């Protein structure tokens, strides 16, 4: 019976962690009836319908830039995922759900309400960078600065952690999805071929790189010629993908620098000595850690399992509730969190 659960409700994927393992990891996508808005498919099946639906259906990401954009669909999706993960073997679990850094109290409440409606109880909402810090086992008793960068699908979270709290942070709406969008634009401009987000994602994963490779690699992809409307194959190289996504990478690097610019100098000195921690599925882009290290002039520690670092850290916090003493939302029922 599941009693301790960590949930990372992300723009791209929903990950549920319990009993020291990932029990569910599915795309945060819902295929709906375009007229009634009733859900038809969830998860992987829904993702495969992106760009392939008839007019009677629509593929929807109910979470955009780490924030719930469609409350009802998010609730139904999470309820379905909780049922898949645990069936009926769940009774008043303790849950930590994560969200991007720097969001409003209302957005905290929205996430709490969704998780409760999906069957959760005793819910705590924490920022993703804090959850990562919990998983790293940082010593929160000391006033010492640690820089954590979490590059997700919809947001890039940059936070400086000290004494169990966030000293400086920002959440930027530039992240891995933007790489896909730039690849789509590049292919359209250079090859006069329209490709979908799933093809762009495959290109990014297979040949994408944040640095120029010494030896170029290439892949063949397929799309639709924008003039003839006919299917067409094309070859794209890692160098071309680098050119396509380079501006987006520069924006993320600038976002990290902006947070450091508003961080206390002594905390920055700590970061210079210790390096920074890089997490999130977007950080798996080849050469990203190297690019950030060259730009900032500090060592970059890449997480062993970057895509799951947030939800694993949330699970650590459940077992060590004292870690949450500086977090606004403690382990308590939502009745106590109602706005007067």
The answer to the question of residue 43 being in a domain is yes
Residue 45 has pLDDT above 60, yes or no: yes
> How far apart, in whole angstroms, are the C-alpha atoms of residue 133 and residue 29?
28
Instruction: Return the pLDDT at 120.
Output: 76
User: 44: part of which helix (H) or strand (E)?
Assistant: helix 43-48
Q: How large is the average pLDDT for residues 230-235?
A: 97
The answer to the question of residue 97 being in a domain is yes
The DSSP secondary-structure symbol of 219 reads: E
Instruction: Return the pLDDT at 103.
Output: 79
Residue 2 has pLDDT above 70, yes or no: no
Q: How large is the average pLDDT for residues 143-171?
A: 93
Sheet containing 193-194: order of strands: 193-194, 218-225, 231-237
The answer to the question of residue 215 being in a domain is no
> At which residue do the structure tokens 């905290």 appear?
108
The answer to the question of residue 247 being in a domain is no
Instruction: Return the pLDDT at 330.
Output: 39
pTM of the entire structure? 0.89
CATH number of the domain where residue 81 is located:
3.30.420.40
The answer to the question of residue 327 being in a domain is yes
Instruction: Return the pLDDT at 158.
Output: 96
Q: How many residues does the chain have?
A: 340
The answer to the question of residue 188 being in a domain is no
Instruction: Return the pLDDT at 325.
Output: 64
- pLDDT tens-digit series, residues 238-260: 999 999 999 999 999 999 999 99
- pLDDT tens-digit series, residues 263-284: 999 999 999 999 999 999 999 9
Q: Determine how many CB atoms are found less than 10 A away from the CB of residue 300.
A: 20
> How far apart, in whole angstroms, are the C-alpha atoms of residue 194 and residue 178?
16
User: 21: part of which helix (H) or strand (E)?
Assistant: strand 21-27
What value does the mean pLDDT of the chain take?
89
The answer to the question of residue 144 being in a domain is no
- pLDDT tens-digit series, residues 59-85: 999 999 888 999 999 999 999 999 898
CA 231 to chain CA centroid, Å, is 33
- pLDDT tens-digit series, residues 76-112: 999 999 989 888 766 667 888 998 887 778 888 888 8
Kindly compute the dihedral angle of the four CA atoms of residues 181, 185, 187, 189, in this order, to the nearest 10 degrees: 180
> How far apart, in whole angstroms, are the C-alpha atoms of residue 98 and residue 23?
17
The tally of domains found in the chain comes to 1
The answer to the question of residue 331 being in a domain is yes
Residue 55, domain extent: 2-132+309-337
Q: How large is the average pLDDT for residues 308-313?
A: 93
């Amino acid at each position: 019976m599941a009693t301790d659960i960590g949930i990372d409700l992300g723009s791209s994927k929903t990950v549920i962690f319990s009993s020291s393992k990932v029990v569910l990891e599915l795309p945060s996508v819902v295929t709906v009836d375009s007229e009634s808005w009733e859900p038809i498919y969830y998860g992987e099946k829904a993702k495969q319908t992106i760009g392939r639906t008839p007019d009677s259906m629509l593929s929807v990401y109910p979470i955009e830039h780490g924030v719930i954009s469609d409350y009802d669909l998010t609730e139904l999706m999470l309820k379905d995922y909780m049922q898949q993960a645990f069936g009926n073997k769940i009774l008043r679990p303790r849950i930590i759900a994560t969200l991007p850094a720097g969001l409003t109290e209302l957005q905290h409440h929205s996430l709490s309400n969704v998780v409760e409606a999906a069957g959760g109880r005793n819910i705590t909402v924490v920022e993703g960078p804090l959850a990562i810090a919990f998983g790293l086992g940082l010593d929160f008793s000391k006033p010492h600065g640690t820089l954590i960068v979490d590059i997700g699908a919809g947001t890039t979270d940059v936070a400086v952690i000290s004494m169990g709290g966030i000293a400086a942070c920002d959440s930027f709406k530039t992240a891995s999805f933007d790489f896909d969008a730039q690849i789509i634009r590049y292919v359209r401009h250079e090859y006069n071929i329209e490709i979908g987000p799933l093809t762009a994602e495959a290109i990014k994963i297979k040949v994408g790189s944040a640095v120029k490779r010494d030896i170029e690699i290439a892949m063949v992809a397929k799309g639709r010629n924008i003039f003839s409307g006919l299917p067409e194959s094309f070859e794209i190289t890692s160098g071309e993908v680098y050119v396509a996504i380079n501006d987006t990478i520069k924006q993320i690097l600038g976002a990290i620098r902006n947070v450091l610019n508003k961080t206390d100098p002594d905390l920055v000195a700590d970061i210079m000595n210790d390096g920074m921690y890089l997490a999130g599925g977007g950080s798996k882009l080849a050469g990203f850690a190297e690019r950030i290290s060259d730009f900032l002039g500090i060592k970059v520690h890449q997480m062993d399992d970057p895509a799951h670092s947030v939800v694993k850290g949330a699970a650590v916090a459940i077992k060590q509730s004292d870690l949450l003493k500086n977090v606004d939302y403690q382990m308590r029922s939502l009745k106590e969190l109602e706005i007067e």
